[in-house]
Amino acid sequence: MLEKISDTLTFECETGNYHTFCPISCVAWLYQKIEDSFFLVVGTKTCGYFLQNALGVMIFAEPRYAMAELEEGDISAQLNDYEELKRLCIQIKKDRNPSVIVWIGTCTTEIIKMDLEGMAPKLEAEIGIPIVVARANGLDYAFTQGEDTVLAAIVHRCPDYKLQNKTDLTDNDIQEDATRFSFLKLRKNNIRSISATNSHPPLVLFGSLPTTVSSQLNLELKRNQIEVSGWLPTQRYTDLPSLGEGVYVCGVNPFLSRTATTLMRRKKCKLISAPFPIGPDGTRAWIEKICNVFNIQPTGLEERENKIWDGLEDYLDLVRGKSVFFMGDNLLEISLARFLIRCGMIVYEIGIPYMDKRYQAAELMLLQKTCEMMNVPLPRIVEKPDNYNQIQRIRELKPDLAITGMAHANPLEARGISTKWSVEFTFAQIHGFTNARDILELVTRPLRRNQSLHELGWNNLVKVNSQ
C-alpha cells in the first residue's frame, strides 16, 4: 500500500528553513482543554517572550501555565535543578492546586541535558502531584507536534484496560494498574472501567478538541451504533480513559503520530488508520473506516454528506477553479488540501513540516482518490520546505490563495497575493460535518474581502524596487 502511494504521489524535501510556531505553543490550547492541569515550561526568556506574544490576551487571564525561567546559574549548574524545580512546583501546588503538572522540556533543557524524566518521579513522590514530562522543543518538532509529545507522555498515565470478564476491580488490580506507568496511585474512584458494548470493542479517540466538537463527533459515531468509550485527553486529568490490549484507538488530527505509536507499542492498542474527520468527505471516510473495522454497516452517511455539500454551495461557488498554495507549518495541510480539492480548488503545492506516511496513509490515499475524482493533477508535497524558495514559486505561480504563517502574510498581501493565516486553522473548529462551513468561511474570507476591494485597484502596495 505504501509503495503504491509513493508511486504516484511525489514527496520532496527541502532545507527546513521555514517559519512555524515553536511546539511549546501547545500549552495554549492544552491547558484550556485539561482543566485541572498546570503547564510549566522549563526554558528561557526566549520561550517566555514567544508565549507572551503569541498568546496575546490569554496571558492576562491568569493562565494555568508559567515559565520556569532558567537563569545563568541554572545553565552553569551552580544551582541544583531538582531543588529549583521543587521550589517552583511547591509554589504552584500552593497557589493553584492542580491535579497534574506538565513539564514542557525546551531546547535549553535538551542542550544542557537536564534530566526531567529522571527528576519527575522523585519529585512527584515528594510533593504528591503527578508530573508528566513532554519534550516539546524546537530542535525536534514543529508547532502542533507539541500536542503530540504531550499526549504521548500522558498515554503512560492512563490506567490499564483489562478485558472485561470480572466487572469489579480488586484493590490489588488498582494498585497494579496505577503503578505500572504512573508513579502515583490514582484514587480508586478515578479508575474508570470502560466496557465493551454489545456490538463492538471499546474505542478511544485521541487528539485535543474543544468539548463541543468532541461531542459532535461522539454523536456522529453514535448514529452508527458506535459508542466512544473515552477521549485522550479528557476534560480532567483524573478522568483519563483506560487503555490496553483490545482497545481500539483512532486519531482525529494528522499530527499525532507519536501518540499513535505509543498507543500501539506501549499500550498494545489497535490503531484504526483512517482519513481525518476534516471536511464532510473526510468525516464520512473517517466514520466509514471505523464502522468497517467494527463490521458495522454505516447508515445514511452518503445522504448526510451530500446534504452538507448542498449547504456549502454558496461558498463552493467562490472557491471553484481557484488555486491554493500551502506553505506549510501545522501538519493539517494534507487533510485541508484534500478537502479543498474536493471543493473544486487546484492545489499547487502542499508544504508540510513533517510527513508520517504510515500514520497519514489513509489520508494520502483519499487525497489521491480525490484528485482522480476531481480530475486534477496531484499536488507536489514538500516536506521541510524552504520559505525563500517557496516565495519564488509563489511569485511564478501567482496562486489565488496562499495559506501561510503570519510572518509572510502581510508582505504577500502587499504584493497582491491573497493569504490566509494558517494558524487560524489550528484554533478554529474544523472537525466533523457540522464545522465544514467554518473551514470554508476561513478559506473564502480573503477571497470575499478582496472581491469588495478589487474595484479600487490597490492590489499591489509595494514600491517597485522592493518587489
Q: CA-to-CA distance for 196 and 229, rounded, in angstroms? A: 8
CA distances from 258 to 105, 235, 447 (A): 16, 21, 36
The annotation places the binding site for [4Fe-4S] cluster at 22, 47, 107
> In the complex with another protein, which residue's Cβ is closer, 150 or 252?
150
Residues 446-465 that bind another protein (CB under 8 A): 461-462
Could you tell me the three cell numbers for 430?
A: 474544523
Q: CA-to-CA distance for 302 and 307, rounded, in angstroms? A: 9
Could you tell me the three cell numbers for 67?
A: 515559565
Q: Is 355 helix (H, G, I), strand (E, B) or coil?
A: coil
Please name which of 92, 84, 85 lies closest in space to residue 38, comparing C-alpha atoms: 92
| Selected range binding another protein among 118-126, 188-196, 224-232, 400-408, rule: CB under 8 A | 400-408
> In the complex with another protein, which residue's Cβ is closer, 7 or 83?
83
Using CB under 8 A as the binding rule, whether residue 20 contacts another protein is answered as: yes
Using CB under 8 A as the binding rule, whether residue 175 contacts another protein is answered as: no
Q: Is 404 helix (H, G, I), strand (E, B) or coil?
A: strand
Strand partners, 105: 42, 135
Residues 278-297 that bind another protein (CB under 8 A): none
Q: CA-to-CA distance for 222 and 228, rounded, in angstroms? A: 8
The residues, any chain, with a CB within 8 Å of residue 375's CB and separated by 6 or more, are none
Strand partners, 135: 105
Query: Considering only residues 13, 125, 139, 163, which one is a binding residue for another protein as defined by CB under 8 A?
Result: 139
Query: Considering only residues 63, 210, 244, 311, which one is a binding residue for another protein as defined by CB under 8 A?
Result: 63
Q: How many residues does the chain have?
A: 467
Q: CA-to-CA distance for 9 and 370, rounded, in angstroms? A: 12
Using CB under 8 A as the binding rule, whether residue 44 contacts another protein is answered as: yes
CA distances from 271 to 108, 255, 261, 452 (A): 34, 15, 9, 47
The annotation places the binding site at 22, 47, 107
Q: Would you call 375 exposed, middle or buried from its count of C-beta atoms within 10 A (0-12, 13-18, 19+)?
A: exposed
Query: Considering only residues 7, 60, 165, 198, which one is a binding residue for another protein as defined by CB under 8 A?
Result: 60
Least separation in angstroms between CB 143 and another protein: 7
Please name which of 343, 466, 324 lies closest in space to residue 404, comparing C-alpha atoms: 324
Query: Considering only residues 1, 179, 245, 388, which one is a binding residue for another protein as defined by CB under 8 A?
Result: 388
Least separation in angstroms between CB 330 and another protein: 12
> In the complex with another protein, which residue's Cβ is closer, 68 or 221?
68
> In the complex with another protein, which residue's Cβ is closer, 198 or 466?
466
Query: Considering only residues 19, 162, 369, 380, which one is a binding residue for another protein as defined by CB under 8 A?
Result: 19
Using CB under 8 A as the binding rule, whether residue 129 contacts another protein is answered as: no
Least separation in angstroms between CB 462 and another protein: 5
Residues 312-371 that bind another protein (CB under 8 A): none
Phi and psi angles of residue 38, each rounded to the nearest 5 degrees, phi first:
-135, 130
CA distances from 463 to 400, 414, 456, 466 (A): 22, 10, 18, 6
Using CB under 8 A as the binding rule, whether residue 138 contacts another protein is answered as: yes
Using CB under 8 A as the binding rule, whether residue 21 contacts another protein is answered as: yes
CA torsion angle 424 336 252 41 (round to 10): -40
Least separation in angstroms between CB 111 and another protein: 5
> In the complex with another protein, which residue's Cβ is closer, 7 or 60?
60
Query: Considering only residues 164, 410, 441, 448, which one is a binding residue for another protein as defined by CB under 8 A?
Result: 410
Using CB under 8 A as the binding rule, whether residue 149 contacts another protein is answered as: no
Relative to beta strand 131-135, strand 100-105 is parallel
| Selected range binding another protein among 340-348, 360-368, 370-378, 403-411, rule: CB under 8 A | 403-411
Q: Show the binding pattern over residues 67-106: x = contacts another protein (CB under 8 A), - = does not.
A: xxxxxx-xx---x----xx-xx--xx--------------
The H-or-E segment that residue 204 falls in is strand 203-206
For cell 496562486, the residue is: 399
Phi and psi angles of residue 255, each rounded to the nearest 5 degrees, phi first:
-100, 20
At 73, the amino acid letter reads G
> In the complex with another protein, which residue's Cβ is closer, 84 or 424?
84
CA distances from 355 to 145, 148, 404 (A): 11, 14, 18
Using CB under 8 A as the binding rule, whether residue 152 contacts another protein is answered as: no
Least separation in angstroms between CB 112 and another protein: 6
Query: Considering only residues 59, 119, 312, 361, which one is a binding residue for another protein as defined by CB under 8 A?
Result: 59
Using CB under 8 A as the binding rule, whether residue 131 contacts another protein is answered as: no
Number of residues that bind another protein (CB under 8 A): 62
Residues making contact with another protein (CB under 8 A): 16-17, 19-23, 42, 44-46, 48-50, 52-54, 56, 59-60, 63, 66-72, 74-75, 79, 84-85, 87-88, 91-92, 107-108, 110-112, 137-143, 388, 391, 405-411, 414, 461-462, 466
